[in-house]
Amino acid sequence: MGARDHTRDQLVELVRTIMAQHGTEEEVDRLVEILEASVPHPRVLNLIYHPDMEGFADGLTAEEVVDTALSYTPFAL
């Protein structure tokens, strides 16, 4: 499966696992790598750990993280 071949549902489960810190540090790090390679948002971890840095007042659900990360469109300066 290529980096961007994960379904939305698979990414939601991946984010849930990252948020819950299930697994060893190495396992979670690998999931983070997969997530970062699977979405266009350059700061996807901020959506999980620091949503305020991305303009969100409250924490996001796994679904909201994935939807926001997938809908990100880079812009040219």
pLDDT band at 18 (very low <50, low <70, confident <90, very high): very high
Q: Is residue 34 part of a domain?
A: yes
Q: What is the DSSP letter of 29?
A: H
pLDDT band at 35 (very low <50, low <70, confident <90, very high): very high
Closest listed residue to residue 9, CA positions, set 68, 72, 62: 62
| 1 has a pLDDT exceeding 50 | no
Number of domains in the chain: 1
Range(s) of the domain holding residue 25? 8-71
> Can you tell me the distance from the alpha carbon of 3 to that of 15, in angstroms, rounded to the nearest whole number?
15
pLDDT at 4 (0 to 100): 65
Q: Is residue 39 part of a domain?
A: yes
More confident residue, 57 or 67: 67
